[in-house]
């Protein structure tokens, strides 16, 4: 059953005359008649009572017309919503990101972009790195801001900037007043860390492995704010982004720069291979990439 046949049926139900309706629809009378017969065969009953050259909508036709009008309205509404979603000025972008990017990167990007396209709306979702990439792969997200680079050739990942990592230690810790610390010095420390699905945890494990040990993780969390609180409570040390980390002794965790060239994570934007197709997403994607290596992205 095609939507145009429903439209032809409702027009015929209004005029109750094949010749007039066919002229209004700019189709031939036989084409219209065949379409109506197909509908009647599908529903199993005649929809019109025939009286010489005129038609009368019967009780079955009245029922069918009510549902046909709703179906036409639903399809029209869907078309309008899709048009709004893909409009480069007023559409919607589904954007995923690591939770820690929600405090600086995402606000900076959206604030700058709104000056260019104030009518664009965003669906925002913070999650772990693996979950963000998986949602992009399955088209639940248009774009993702994540780290590290995801594996596979079914997605594209464009690096935007490097974010320095630091060591978080409790106040009064033996390393709290150090200007810098090497990863190799942490072999005997108890670590608190994000769960393995998080990109930061994966980077932490690689840093420690390169220094010749695996971190002794005593507590795992799903949020960076909780991680900082656990460190401040003296439950272990942690590797964390320098962005947003406390910088001096006090009641909070203390951030000490890591003296390791690999102590960084590269922020990147991920989308399906071939790039986004919807104009609204493509426009924002180009904007994000144009901000690569900018001081505050």
Rounded average pLDDT per 10-residue block, the chain, 297 residues: 87 89 89 91 91 84 92 81 69 91 92 92 92 93 92 91 93 93 96 91 94 96 91 95 64 88 92 88 93 66
Q: Which helix (H) or strand (E) holds 219?
A: strand 216-221
Question: What pTM, to 2 d.p., does this model score?
Answer: 0.64
CB atoms within 10 A of CB 269: 23
Write the CA distances from 127 to 96, 98, 192, 207, integer angstroms: 7, 5, 19, 23
CB atoms within 10 A of CB 278: 18
Nearest Cα neighbor of 180 from 266, 261, 236 is 261
Per-residue confidence (pLDDT) for residue 84, from 0 to 100:
64
Per-residue confidence (pLDDT) for residue 278, from 0 to 100:
85
Question: Do the beta carbons of residue 126 and residue 99 sit within 8 Å?
Answer: yes
- As a whole number of angstroms, the distance between CA 97 and CA 120 comes to 18
Per-residue confidence (pLDDT) for residue 1, from 0 to 100:
67
Per-residue confidence (pLDDT) for residue 297, from 0 to 100:
45
Write the CA distances from 165 to 10, 25, 58, 256, 258, integer angstroms: 65, 67, 75, 9, 7
Nearest Cα neighbor of 237 from 165, 287, 292, 289 is 165
Residue that has been written with the tokens 């990007």 in this structure = 109
**Length of the chain measured in residues:** 297
Residue 174 burial (C-beta neighbours within 10 Å; 0-12, 13-18, 19+): exposed
Per-residue confidence (pLDDT) for residue 187, from 0 to 100:
96
- As a whole number of angstroms, the distance between CA 289 and CA 275 comes to 12
Tokens of 92: 């919607």
Distance of CA 115 to the CA centre of its chain: 21
Considering only CA atoms, give the Rg of the chain: 30
């Amino acid at each position: 059953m095609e939507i145009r046949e429903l439209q032809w049926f409702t027009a015929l139900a209004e005029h109750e005359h094949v010749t007039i309706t066919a002229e209004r629809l700019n189709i031939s009378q036989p084409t219209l008649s065949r379409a109506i017969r197909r509908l009647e065969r599908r529903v199993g009953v005649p929809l019109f009572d025939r009286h010489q050259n005129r038609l009368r909508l019967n009780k079955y036709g009245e029922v069918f017309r009510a549902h046909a009008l709703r179906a036409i309205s639903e399809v029209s509404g869907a078309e309008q919503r899709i048009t709004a979603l893909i409009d480069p000025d007023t559409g919607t972008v589904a954007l995923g990101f690591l939770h820690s990017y929600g405090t600086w990167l995402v606000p900076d990007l959206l604030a700058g972009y709104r000056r260019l396209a104030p009518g664009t709306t965003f669906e925002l979702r913070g999650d772990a790195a693996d979950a963000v990439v998986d949602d992009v792969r399955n088209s639940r997200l248009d774009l993702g801001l994540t780290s590290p680079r995801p594996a596979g050739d079914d997605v594209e990942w464009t690096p935007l900037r490097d974010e320095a990592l630091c060591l978080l230690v409790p106040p009064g810790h033996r390393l709290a007043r150090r200007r810098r610390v090497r990863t190799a010095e942490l072999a005997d420390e108890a670590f608190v860390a994000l769960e393995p699905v998080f990109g930061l945890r994966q980077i932490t494990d690689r840093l420690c492995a390169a220094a010749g040990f695996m971190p002794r993780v005593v507590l795992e969390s799903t949020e960076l704010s909780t991680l900082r609180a656990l460190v401040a409570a003296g439950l272990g040390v942690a590797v964390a982004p320098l962005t947003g980390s406390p910088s001096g002794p006090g009641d909070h965790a203390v951030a000490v720069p890591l003296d390791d060239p690999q102590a960084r994570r590269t922020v990147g934007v991920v989308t399906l291979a071939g790039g986004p197709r919807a104009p609204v997403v493509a426009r924002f994607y180009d904007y994000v990439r144009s901000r690569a290596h900018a001081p505050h992205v």
